[in-house]
Amino acid sequence: MKNPKIKLALLLWAMGMAGVLSLWTAPPPLDPQTEAILKQLYSDEQIRLLILVNPTLMLTLAVVMGVIGYDRAGYSLPLLEKWAGLRKEMAHVKRIVSAALVGGALAALITAILYRFTAEGLPEADRALSLPVRLLYGGLTEEIIMRFGAMTVMTVLLAKAAGGYKPWVYHAAVWISAFLFAIGHLPAASRWAGELTPDLIFYVLGGNTLAGAIFGLLYYRYGLESAILAHMTAHVFLFGLRYI
């Protein structure tokens, strides 16, 4: 393929779709009333396909917007750029992996502490999500959508408003995208818990905002691969400990 950016986009989209397709194995994130109505109109397989439409559209938009703006914003994908032909020098793999493992462990620790004190009532439906779903959808798809897509776009927009790519622009983009990432988890938490209690809201918003900020800082400093690996690492720790 002659255009390396198109090659990069296709690779990212394929990676993200692995996560989207993994949702096929997860419990449908529907409240009982909505599920009952849909079952009158569609088969179980058709309902699962419908559930995949929205994340597929978000992933596609994130990949397109991210590929357009990531290098303009100064972000990188060291390993994937090398594979796509956009980078000649070898990436510092050890530094990328080391930062990711530390960041993932820290995100898991923060989430586990918040869970212990605020959200022990989080129902088994959330806990039952398989490790492949957590790794593929959480680690790959969510990072491509929220960091490569949303955080990149936020950085470009803030830079235009600020008249340049100033340091505060990047930190603001990290925290704004992290908070949006956290808000995106509230609907699922509401469906699983039946209601959003103050403790559950604090857990979902607090844990995901802080974890998302860690992943965002890794994207900023070390590239998207570091954020992806950190997100996966956090899920491995948390799945093993059964905190979520």
Question: Quick one: which of 3, 49, 19, 2 has its CA closest to 148?
Answer: 19
pLDDT at residue number 130: 83
Q: How far is CA 181 from the centre of its chain?
A: 7
Integer-rounded Cα Rg, in Å, for the chain is 18
pLDDT at residue number 125: 45
Query: pLDDT tens for residues 90-139?
Result: 778 999 999 999 999 999 999 989 888 776 655 544 555 788 999 999 99
pLDDT at residue number 116: 81
How much is the pTM?
0.91
Mean pLDDT of successive 10-residue stretches along the chain, which has 244 residues: 88 97 80 71 80 95 97 95 87 93 96 80 58 93 98 98 96 97 86 77 93 98 97 92 59
pLDDT at residue number 100: 98
Tokens of 129: 């999500």
Q: In the chain, how many domains are there?
A: 1
pLDDT at residue number 126: 52
- C-alpha to C-alpha distance for 175 and 216, rounded to whole angstroms: 8
Query: Containing domain of residue 209, as a range?
Result: 4-241
pLDDT at residue number 26: 77
- Burial of 164-184, coded b for 16+ CB within 10 Å and e otherwise, reads eeeeebbeebbbbbbebbbeb
Question: Quick one: which of 208, 242, 219, 215 has its CA closest to 230?
Answer: 215
